[in-house]
Amino acid sequence: MAWIYVAITIALTVYGQIVVKWQVLRKGALPASLRGKGEFFAHLLTNPWVISVLLGAFIAALSWMAAMTRLPLSRAYPFVGLSFALVLLLSSVFFNEALTATKIVGVGLIVAGIVVGSQV
């Protein structure tokens, strides 16, 4: 069950990154004025999608705490690095962000590090 908690933490972290990017793109550029910035963030913080991200972050934190009751931090934490690979892939799919060889190699190194670092 502990690894399911880790997976939930990763999934909700990735969800948060993708939804925030989507909603920020819909909202537009950050205004230059202080008042404009305040309105910009107030609008985002009252957006149901952004609220779902905040709730997801809270659930992810609870899930991580549950995982930590059963797993050594040094064994579980490297798996959080999978969020980098998932965000890279999903940002390419949903936002047409470039999926370059350099990014793929970088994520490959992260995944290799997870494999090596998670060995008992």
8 A C-beta contact, residue 70 and residue 2: yes
3-state secondary structure of 32: coil
Say if residue 118's pLDDT is above 80: no
Mean pLDDT of the chain: 95
Rounded to whole angstroms, the Cα distance separating 41 from 114 reads 35
Provide the pLDDT for residue 120. Answer: 66
- Residue 116 reports pLDDT greater than 90: no
Note if the pTM is more than 0.75: yes
- Please list, in sequence order, all residues whose beta carbon lies within 8 angstroms of the beta carbon of residue 51, skipping any fewer than 6 positions away: 45
80-102 pLDDT tens trace? 989 999 999 999 999 999 999 99
